[in-house]
Amino acid sequence: MAHVSTPGFSVLLASSSSCCSSGFKNYDWSHLSGLLSKESSEEDFTGKTGQAIVLRLRGLGSKRIGLIGLGSTTSAIASYRNLGETLDDTKLKIAEVVRSGIIFGKELVNAPTNVLIPGILAGEAMRIASEYIDVFTATILDVEQCKQLKMGSYLGVAAASANPPHFIHLCY
Query: What is the predicted pLDDT for the residue at 78?
Result: 60
Side-chain-side CA neighbours of residue 6 (13 Å): 13
Task: Show pLDDT as tens, one digit a residue, over the chain (172 residues).
Answer: 445 566 666 666 666 554 556 666 777 777 677 777 777 777 777 777 777 777 776 666 557 777 777 777 655 556 555 555 555 667 667 777 788 888 888 999 899 989 999 999 999 999 999 998 998 899 999 999 999 999 999 999 999 999 999 999 999 8
Burial 95-116 (b: 16+ CB within 10 A, else e): eeeebeeeeeeeeeeeeeeeee
Query: What is the predicted pLDDT for the residue at 115?
Result: 92
Query: What is the predicted pLDDT for the residue at 17?
Result: 52
Of 150, 143, 106, 149, whose CA–CA distance to 122 is shortest?
143
DSSP category for residue 18: G
CB 99 within 8 A of CB 75: no
Neighbours of 65 (CB within 10 A): 23
Angle between helices 22-32 and 35-42 (to 10 degrees): 110
Query: What is the predicted pLDDT for the residue at 163?
Result: 94
Q: Set out the domains of the chain in order of their start, with CATH numbers.
A: 6-86 (3.40.220.10), 112-171 (no CATH)
pTM attached to this predicted model: 0.49
Query: What is the predicted pLDDT for the residue at 19?
Result: 53
